[in-house]
Amino acid sequence: MALWITDECINCDVCEPECPNQAITMGEEHYVIDPRRCTECVGHFDEPQCVQVCPVECIPVNPEHVESREQLALKYRALQSGAASAAS
């Protein structure tokens, strides 16, 4: 599953630089996660990095984006190959 940020977010800015997939950006009122880029950190870390650093615990899993670990790994590989072709 991708994760999402609830409106309890206090815009403390600490999660955004921790995301290895650049999935977190500032939304209209608070930070948001792009479910197309969030792999729950699969491929990079054992634990979701944003959840680790968030001081108000406002980053639950997104029930609208249920994905298996395999799907998350596929997304990770797709993002990596996209990054590789963008860099070349």
State in angstroms the smallest separation of the CB of 88 from ligand SF4. 23
CB within 8 Å of 46: residues ≥ 6 apart: none
Per this entry, what is the length of the chain? 88
Tokens in use for 45? 């870390």
Q: Counting contacts by CB under 6 A, is residue 24 touching ligand SF4? A: yes
Tokens in use for 85? 């072709």
Q: Counting contacts by CB under 6 A, is residue 72 touching ligand SF4? A: no
Residues near ligand SF4 (CB under 6 A) are 3, 5, 9-15, 18-19, 21, 23-24, 31, 33, 38-41, 48-50, 53-54, 56, 58-59
